[in-house]
Amino acid sequence: MFASYRSASRGDVDLAVNAARAAFASWSQTPLSERIAAVRRIAAALRERSEAIAQVITREVGMPAKLSARIQAGAPIAAWEQYAELASAIDWEGRIGHSLVQQLPVGVVACITPWNYPLHQITGKVAPALLAGCTVVLKPSELAPSSAFLLAEAVAQAGLPLGVFNLVHGNGPEVGEALVRHSEVDMVSFTGSTRAGQRIAALAGQDIKRLALELGGKSAAVVLPGADLAAAVKATLGGCFLNAGQTCSATTRLLVPRAQAQQAAHLAAELAPAWRMGDPADPATRLGPLLSHAQREKVRDMVHAAIAEGAQLVTRDGPLPPHGFFFPPTVLDHVTPQMAIAREEVFGPVLALIAYDSIDEAVAIANGTGYGLAATVWAATPAAALPVAQPLRAGQVDINGAPFNPLAPFGGFGRSGIGRENGRFGIEEFLEPRSLQMPATYFETP
């Protein structure tokens, strides 16, 4: 054990929410320039702690250290600075006919975040909420709480007024639900499983609270005839195995023309061993452990069930590291769309290879899970990919391996959630538009 935190009581939740409520009137009226300056100070304080952030997340989550430094620490710290830059570009007040339309902060926001990308997910909620003029109560995952504690230190160093940011630790059924049910919470922003999101939506609906839900995914990579198959397979493995597959937008289904299925399976079998398992602190490690014994058993059970249904394992199980909840990089061929492994989120390093006979069938398979967080289309040219990308019911679609854009909206369709994060869309998620109908003489030039 390297850290311990006290779980909050319901009384602690009351104190935190009431503090946020008391601070809201003042913070919401604080000039935007001062809110931006405060967020910039938080970003600077986080940057001072970037090495510590990467270290604690590697220890809690298991992502290899060289990736944690860039993805788990560097990217979210940069996002704090990006949000501060974007806030001044929001159209806070404008005119529509004889109305003034203002963007007002939602109020007190409960931010409930997951363990797989802890600071990243916290940043996507807390930074834009503060810039919008909201006050925040954050409950990070009890499985990876340390980066939230370092954020609290950074907030204190930045000198935010008391009550603007509040941190409570604890599990979802007790502390999380107490936050969602609290009468003084105006909005709940949650990232996590679809099952937990359904529970939160049901509770929040009792008081008609504003909701933002970023939930599960079962993202497909659709390879079209004429695409660079080797590049598509390599990139899809990367998208599937990153963070040991513990990524909501992981590309866990590879859809290829039936005539190329055997070649795709051969390429995947050749490339998968490059994802070397080992100690996350070792620079040579590419695949860290899963979060827990229970998660490893869930992944194993899903793979065994798929094989029992007719899927074929095309990768070989090598020796596992002696310590940690490791699961080898796994590729399954002969997967059909009806199998559970093709429909449900695994949250482990498992890729399902699915053959299709027509483009229409590929689109139907890609859309056939109920999830809609992300997708990828590979074609001979970007222009050839667009007609297939258009009907995909996914919140973001990458064309021919184009990189992630932190300024573009992130969120999903269907079981993948409600609302959008990132960029100006993330700030607007915490705003409520209000119209003031004015006499015509108000707009007359003196």
Kindly name the residue from 60, 134, 214, 428 that is annotated as catalytic: 214
Assigned domain for 445 exists? no
Assigned domain for 1 exists? no
Residue 248 bears catalytic tag: yes
Q: Do 81 and 107 fall within a single domain?
A: yes
Assigned domain for 446 exists? no
The total domain count for the chain is: 2
Q: Do 138 and 228 fall within a single domain?
A: no
Provide the residue type at 433 as one letter. P
Assigned domain for 299 exists? yes
Assigned domain for 207 exists? yes
CATH number of the domain residue 308 falls in:
3.40.309.10
Q: Do 152 and 191 fall within a single domain?
A: yes
Rounded to 5°, angle at Cα 406 from 405 and 412: 85
CATH number of the domain residue 88 falls in:
3.40.605.10
Q: Do 64 and 200 fall within a single domain?
A: yes
Collapsed DSSP state (helix, strand, coil) of residue 407: coil
Strands (E), 144-250: 165-167, 187-191, 210-214, 219-223
User: Can you give the pTM of this predicted structure?
Assistant: 0.95
Distance (Å) of CA 229 to CA 62, 170, 257, 259, 378: 31, 46, 10, 12, 8
Q: Which residues pair with 109 in a beta bridge?
A: 136, 187
Task: Give the range of the structural domain holding residue 416, as residue numbers without chain letter.
Answer: 10-215+412-436
Adjacency order of strands within the sheet including 431-437: 93-96, 99-105, 431-437
Assigned domain for 5 exists? no
Question: Residue 334 and residue 267: Cα distance in Å, rounded?
Answer: 15
Q: Do 232 and 160 fall within a single domain?
A: no
Q: What pLDDT score does 443 carry?
A: 87
Q: Do 236 and 338 fall within a single domain?
A: yes
Q: Choose among 112, 129, 263, 249: nearest CA to 191.
A: 112
Q: Do 88 and 54 fall within a single domain?
A: yes
Q: Do 224 and 204 fall within a single domain?
A: no
Kindly name the residue from 248, 345, 428, 429 that is annotated as catalytic: 248
Token pair of 148 as six digits? 């939230």
Q: Do 204 and 235 fall within a single domain?
A: no
Q: Do 316 and 202 fall within a single domain?
A: no
pLDDT in tens, the chain (446 residues): 678 899 999 999 999 999 999 999 999 999 999 999 999 999 999 999 999 999 999 999 999 999 999 999 999 999 999 999 999 999 999 999 999 999 999 999 999 999 999 999 999 999 999 999 999 999 999 999 999 999 999 999 999 999 999 999 999 999 999 999 999 999 999 999 999 999 999 999 999 999 999 999 999 999 999 999 999 999 999 999 999 999 999 999 999 999 999 999 999 999 999 999 999 999 999 999 999 999 999 999 999 999 999 999 999 877 899 899 999 999 999 999 999 999 999 999 999 999 999 999 999 999 999 999 999 999 999 999 999 999 999 999 999 999 999 999 999 999 999 999 999 999 999 999 999 999 988 888 76
Q: Do 203 and 223 fall within a single domain?
A: no
Assigned domain for 405 exists? no
The sign of the CA dihedral 145, 150, 154, 160 is positive
Please, are residues 352 and 299 in contact by the beta-carbon 8 Å criterion? no
Q: What pLDDT score does 316 carry?
A: 84
Q: Do 360 and 430 fall within a single domain?
A: no
Q: What pLDDT score does 446 carry?
A: 64
Provide the residue type at 303 as one letter. V
